[in-house]
Amino acid sequence: MSKSHYAGSLAAAVLAALVLATFTAGCTGTEAAQSGVGETNTVTDGFGRTVAVPSPPESVVCSGSGCLRYLVYLQGQDLVVGVDDIEKKDQAIEGRPYALAYGAQFKGLPLIGEFRGKDDPEKILGIGPEVIFKTGSSGTAYATSAAEADKLQERTGIPVVAFAYGSLRNDAEKAEMYEGLRVMGRVIGKEERAEEVIAYIEATIADLETRTGDIPEDERKTVYVGGVSYAGAHGIISTEPAYPPFLWVNAENVAAGLGTAHADVAKEALVDWDPEYLFIDVGTIQTESDGAIGELKNDPALKGLTAVKEGRVYGVLPYNFYSTNYETVLANAYFIGKTLYPDRFEDIDPKEKADEIYTFFIGKPVFSEHNSQYRDLGFGKIPL
C-alpha cells in the first residue's frame, strides 16, 4: 500500500471513529430549556459554569487571544458583530492566517475592547451580541477564568461562555483545546464541524507519526528551532523544548527536557549541542538585523555550527501570533518531516499540503500570502 493511500485511509478511519463517538455521546453538556421561538440551551462551559444561551445565537463576539480563530475554524465567522482592537489594526506583518482570510470583514466591525481580553462592557452592550465567547492561553498572563467570565456576564447581562485555549504540546492541553472547540460548537450549532476539526487534527498527527515512528533512535536527526515567536519576535536563543512538529516526526530536539513551554537557551548550549539541522521561525525577521538569521550570519561561534557550515538551516512559519495558529503548526510539521526524512514524505509537497490544511481550517489557501509576509523565507533553505 502506498504512503499516500495509507495516510488517506488512516485519516478516514480516525474521522469516522471520532464522529461516531460524538453521535453516540449525544449532546453532552447541553440541555434544551424550551422549544420553538426563543429556544435556549443550557451549556456547561470550559470552567464548569452553567450558562443559558440562545439556540442557536444569531450574533456573537469573541474576547481574548485566539477566540475568534476558533470561531473561524467552526465556520461561524459571519456571526461576529464586534471585535477587539487587534482585529482592526493594520499589521506591518500579519501572522494570523484567519486574519489574512477574513481581515477585511473583521476590520469593519465595531470595537468591543482591547486585545488579550481587555473588554469594554459598555461597548459590548452598545453592540448587543446574544453571546460572548471568552478565552485565553492557559498558563500565561493572558489566561481567562471563571471569575472573569462571571464578572463580564454580570456587567453586561449577556451570556458569557468561557474556556481555556489549550495547545497541542501534550495530552492535557490538547484536551483543553478540544473541549473549547466542542463548547463553542454546542453554542452555535456546529457540533459536527467541531468533531471534524478534532478528527482532522488527530488524523494529521497520526499520519506524521506513522510515517516516521519506525525510524531507529540512532538514525533520528538532531534538530533545534530558534527565533521562536513568543509574545513578539525573538532571536536564536528563543525555542520550544516541546516543539510539536519535532515530536510528531520523531526528530531529536536538542533542547528537549527543559520543562517549560518556552525557553531562552544559552548560545553556548546551542554550540555544544551542535544539531544536524537548524530550523528558524521566520517571525524573527521582525527584530533588529533579522534576529536569528543575522546572528547565524555574524556571530563567529554560531557560524561554526555544523548545520550552518553544511547548509542545513531552514525557515518555518511562525505560529505563535495572538495565541497558537494550529493550522500552521501542522503545516510546519510536514515541511520539517520532508526536510529530515524525504523518503518518508515522497508523496508530499509541503506548500501544497499547507494550502490543503489552511483550506480545511479557514476555508482559503493562504500559504503564499502568509509566507510573503516573511519575505518568502518559510519552507526553504535560509540563505546565510
The sign of the CA dihedral 336, 338, 341, 347 is: positive
| Cα–Cα distance, 245 to 205 (Å, whole number) | 9
- What pLDDT, on the 0 to 100 scale, is given for residue 34? 40
Q: Is the Cβ–Cβ distance between 302 and 267 less than 8 Å?
A: yes
| Contact partners, residue 352, CB within 8 Å, separation at least 6 | none
The sign of the CA dihedral 167, 102, 124, 188 is: negative
Nearest Cα neighbor of 317 from 357, 284, 281 is 281
- What pLDDT, on the 0 to 100 scale, is given for residue 14? 46
- In this prediction the pTM is 0.88
Q: Low-confidence residues of the chain, pLDDT below 70? A: 1-38, 115-117, 137-143
- What pLDDT, on the 0 to 100 scale, is given for residue 22? 43
The strand pairing partners of 239, in sequence order, are: 263
| Cα–Cα distance, 384 to 381 (Å, whole number) | 9
The strand pairing partners of 314, in sequence order, are: 279, 381
- What pLDDT, on the 0 to 100 scale, is given for residue 231? 75
- What pLDDT, on the 0 to 100 scale, is given for residue 232? 75
- What pLDDT, on the 0 to 100 scale, is given for residue 1? 42
- What pLDDT, on the 0 to 100 scale, is given for residue 13? 44
| Cα–Cα distance, 184 to 53 (Å, whole number) | 11
End-to-end Cα distance, the chain: 41
SS3 39: coil
Tens digit of pLDDT for each residue in 41-63?
Answer: 999 999 999 999 998 999 999 99
